[in-house]
Amino acid sequence: MSPSEHDAALDDRLLQAMAERGGVKSFPAHAVLVNEEDDSDSIFIVLRGKVKIYGAGANGREVVYTTLGAGEYFGEMTLDGGPRSASVMTLEPTTCVVVTGTNVRDFLGTHPDFALHLVRKLIGLVRRSTDTVKRLALDDVYTRVSKLLHELAETDATGRLVVPERLTQQDIADRVGSSREMISRIFKQLTIGGYIAAEGRRIVMLKKLPARW
């Protein structure tokens, strides 16, 4: 996980202070918490569980922008008074603190450290958005898949590189802007070549991925 992803989580002090301004709500897996273009302005802080931030087209296809876990938050883009810029769905049973936009604005005025955290998060979002546009314009599908796997992979207790998120091929297709069929072909060749292996729904990277596919 990159440093910018670690920085996305609130420290315990800020998390507690924000939690005191909102209400705790629990949601089952696959519950839609926010719909794109909604006018609501609350911020959600994830206490437990995991959510995905995504957009959907008229044809039903999705693109996943990111996933968030405990200590991370979403909904800050509505602080400018505009509609929701993305939809959010739980990936597993999830508990959140929901803080109204008014309370968030008051909190920003009394907690400059949270304001700085928010600014850093938004800068990181812009950087990732710029990088995503560049990848879609310049990289082929295999290159996008390779970069995604390297970004998500972590070293486990045995020293192996493992993608801890339990991603389906459709999940990966949604993240890189491709079809599941193309991802299936790429994974089949990487598996045959001994580059990756599946352990349940975890992906283990056995050796450095080839530069080209």
Residue-wise pLDDT tens digits, 9-61: 777 888 888 888 889 999 999 999 999 988 888 999 999 999 999 988 777 77
User: What total number of domains does the chain contain?
Assistant: 2
> Length of the chain in residues, anyone?
213
As a whole number of Å, the end-to-end CA separation of the chain is: 25
Whether residue 210 lies inside any domain: the answer is no
My answer on whether 52 and 83 are in the same domain is: yes
- 80, 63 contact by CB (below 8 A): no
My answer on whether 27 and 105 are in the same domain is: yes
Please state, in angstroms and as integers, the Cα–Cα distance from residue 138 to each residue in 55, 62, 131, 186, 189, following that order: 21, 21, 10, 18, 23
Nearest C-alpha neighbor of 101 from the set 141, 65, 73, 122:
73
- At 126, which CATH number? 2.60.120.10
What is the pTM (predicted TM-score) of this model? Answer: 0.64
Q: What are phi and psi of 140, to 5 degrees?
A: -80, 175
Whether residue 213 lies inside any domain: the answer is no
Query: Which of 137, 170, 196 finishes a domain?
Result: 137
Residue-wise pLDDT tens digits, 75-85: 988 888 888 98
- At 168, which CATH number? 1.10.10.10
Q: What are phi and psi of 39, to 5 degrees?
A: -100, 0
- 162, 202 contact by CB (below 8 A): yes
Residue-wise pLDDT tens digits, 128-137: 778 777 776 6
Separation of alpha carbons 35 and 112, rounded Å: 29
- 182, 171 contact by CB (below 8 A): no
My answer on whether 90 and 112 are in the same domain is: yes
Query: Which of 89, 109, 137 finishes a domain?
Result: 137
Nearest C-alpha neighbor of 131 from the set 176, 86, 183, 197:
176
Residue-wise pLDDT tens digits, 95-110: 999 999 899 888 888 8
What DSSP character marks residue 138? H
Query: Which of 137, 153, 174 finishes a domain?
Result: 137
Domain of residue 24, residue span: 3-137
Whether residue 211 lies inside any domain: the answer is no
Per-residue pLDDT band for 8 (boundaries 50, 70, 90) equals low
Separation of alpha carbons 63 and 52, rounded Å: 10
